[in-house]
Amino acid sequence: MIDIHCHILPDFDDGADSLEEALDMVHMAVISGVTDIIATPHFQGEAESLQQLPIIDRQFQVLRAAVEKNNLPLQLHPGAEILCVPDTISLAAEHKLPTLANTDYVLTEFYFDESFSFMDEMLSDIAGSGYRPVVAHPERYDVIQKDPRLLQRWARQGYVIQLNKGSVLGSFGARVEQTANEILAMGLAHVFASDAHGCHSRTPHMGALQQWVEELCDADYAAILLEHNPRRLLHGRPMVGT
């Protein structure tokens, strides 16, 4: 499996708080069948945040070197989770947004109470600047919880819909779980990810998710969500339809 959304960089955001914990997260991912992780630290999508990028790169290089030194069978790839704010439009137009694994995919998130119109306009502007948006955990947004069918518009426009492992496993409450299940039932999800933040809760271990998806989704859909689309994204290819 490939995990496209993971807060594994040490000592940067609210993810791994040390190199030791980051390596423990790598171990957890590997034993659950993960071969690749895109490290996606939080990036505040405004001009002042550009100064974070060298720090992100430094922490990425530190972790990748440690993974190689410990002979861990996992490939680490660069990325970020971009909080979309009004200033993000300018960064997109200037082609300054950090991307996933050096592709044109960008992982986007919003404040949970954001309006649909703002999110829709922001994603449209990002796509218009030549990026392919990946919408992180839409099941956690208030407006999507009220009407998951809104995601049909984004799916038609080619945006990637990424669900969180913890959402379907009940980690974020019944409302989020129900919304994630409705998104799956409508065939609107493209990919699952851990959105891991540590070793004790919201972990990168994907075993329970794999079992859940294979039991509750048909075999073809499970393979798309867990194998085909994550790999296609990693290599900058279009998603397979669900």
CATH number at residue 113: 3.20.20.140
Give yes or no for residue 9 having a pLDDT over 80.
yes
Element (DSSP H or E) covering residue 134: strand 132-136
pLDDT over 90 at 95, yes or no: yes
Q: Specify the number of domains making up the chain.
A: 1
Cα Rg of the chain (Å, integer): 17
Query: 164 with 201: CB under 8 angstroms?
Result: no
Q: How far is CA 60 from the centre of its chain?
A: 17
180 belongs to a structural domain? yes
> Which pLDDT score, from 0 to 100, does residue 31 have?
97
Least confident of 31-35, 38-42, 122-126, 217-221: 217-221
Give 140-177 pLDDT, tens digit per residue: 999 999 999 999 999 999 999 999 999 999 999 999 99
Residue 241 is assigned to a structural domain of this protein:
no
Is residue 223 in some structural domain?
Answer: yes
Task: Give the least confident one: 1-5, 24-28, 143-147, 220-224.
Answer: 220-224
- Least confident window among 16-30, 85-99, 144-158, 218-232: 218-232
pLDDT: which is higher, 218 or 16: 16
d(CA 139, CA 112) in angstroms, rounded, equals 10
Query: Does pLDDT of 81 surpass 90?
Result: yes
H/E segment holding residue 77: strand 75-77
Each residue of 28-50: pLDDT tens digit? 999 999 999 999 999 999 999 99
* φ, ψ at 71 (rounded to 5°): 55, 40
Residue 102 has pLDDT above 80, yes or no: yes
pTM of the model: 0.96
pLDDT at residue 242, as a whole number: 55
Angle at 110 (CA atoms; ends 34, 194), nearest 5 degrees: 15
CA separation for the pair 28, 33 (Å, rounded): 9
The pLDDT score that the predictor gives to residue 219 is 86
Evaluate whether residue 60 is within a structural domain. Answer: yes
Range of the domain at 67: 2-234
- Distance between CA atoms of 42 and 108, rounded to whole angstroms? 10
Is residue 239 one of the residues assigned to a domain?
Answer: no
Sequence letter at residue 188: L
19 within domain boundaries:
yes
What is the rounded distance in angstroms from the CA atom of residue 192 to the CA atom of residue 228? 11
Mean per-residue pLDDT of the chain: 96
Segment 220-229 mean pLDDT: 92
Query: Given a cut of 90, is residue 241 above it in pLDDT?
Result: no
Where does the pLDDT of residue 234 fall: very low under 50, low under 70, confident under 90, or very high at 90 and above?
very high
Please report the pLDDT score of residue 15 as a whole number.
85
Instruction: Quote the pLDDT of residue 13.
Output: 86
Q: Give the mean model confidence (pLDDT) for residues 73-82.
A: 98
Pairing between β-strand 132-136 and β-strand 105-109 as defined by DSSP bridges:
parallel
pLDDT band at 216, cuts 50/70/90? confident
The answer to whether residue 42 sits within a structural domain is yes
